Amino acid sequence: MNSFGKNLKDCREQSGYTQKRLGNALALTPQAISKWETGVSLPDLITLAKISHILNVSADALLNGC
């Protein structure tokens, strides 16, 4: 797991979101969230901004830790 993936998972869990719920909020599959959390892929910048808004954390927190 890369640092972004770990940070995303930590922030997601702290916000009470499951991978499925976050995926639904982004109109994506839970598998997409899993790929980000395991470091297989990364979201684009627009999606990063949406994740930040949904989880109510800064993009900096997602990139550097909650």
Range of the domain at 47: 3-64
| H helices present in the chain, as ranges | 3-14, 19-26, 30-38, 45-55, 59-64
Q: What is the number of domains present in the chain?
A: 1
pTM of the entire predicted model: 0.91
Q: What is the pLDDT of residues 10-66, one digit of tens each?
A: 999 999 999 999 999 999 999 999 999 999 999 999 999 999 999 999 999 999 876
> What angle, 0 to 180 degrees and rounded to 10, lies between the N-to-C axes of helices 30-38 and 3-14?
130
Q: Rounded to whole angstroms, what are the CA distances from 16 to 7, 41, 60?
A: 14, 23, 19
Q: What is the CATH number of the domain that holds 42?
A: 1.10.260.40
